[in-house]
Amino acid sequence: MIVGYARVSTADQSLDRQLDLLASAGVDSRSVYKEKMTGTKRHRPELDRMISELKPGDEVVITDLTRISRSTKDLLDIVESITEKQASIRSLKDTWLNTGPDNPYTHFLLIVMSGLSQLERDLVSQRTREGLRAAKARGRCGGRPSKTNNYTDTVQKLYQTGAKINEIARMTGLSRSTVNRIVKQSDS
């Protein structure tokens, strides 16, 4: 039997693209295990259920490597769990990933390619940290720009004319706590 596994990281993301690719590869929609959670967690309910329900000769189809795992160690563990059930795994995007009996290079390529994927993730994290440090050294910090500076004069004038905190918040679209903070800053 051919089964599919589709995963996105958050509840607001859509599985549609993956489900369409799996369907075009011949996977029956009733045989697809779907998950909406991060791939960094090794134990995921639908992944664990899929592996536990595999029978000898089954084939797991995924759209790409990152859908089943985000780390080399987890990927190797998952593939091992699947092959221990005498089932195989195949990736539509990463065509080298096919643990069927006709592919003697799979284990070698699995280690090399998953290592490269891990390296890519690590390099992205490293560049992000370096960029944040460089910005901080220049006096900039991450995060959303503050609305406070744009509304300070307006809030102060409204408050001085007798407007209440709730009214000012409603008129400016700021939260009450932000309006309070601006008012307290102007009082000091």
- Which amino acid is residue 170, in one-letter code? R
What's the distance, Cα to Cα, between the start and end of the chain in Å? Answer: 72
- E strand or H helix at 110: helix 106-137
Q: Is 188 a catalytic residue?
A: no
Tokens of residue 68, six digits: 């089943």
Sheet holding 88-91, edge to edge: 32-36, 2-8, 59-62, 88-91
CB 55 within 8 A of CB 1: yes
Q: CA 13 to CA 36: how far, in whole Å?
A: 8
**Which of these is catalytic: 9, 31, 71, 81?**
9
* Catalytic center residues: 9
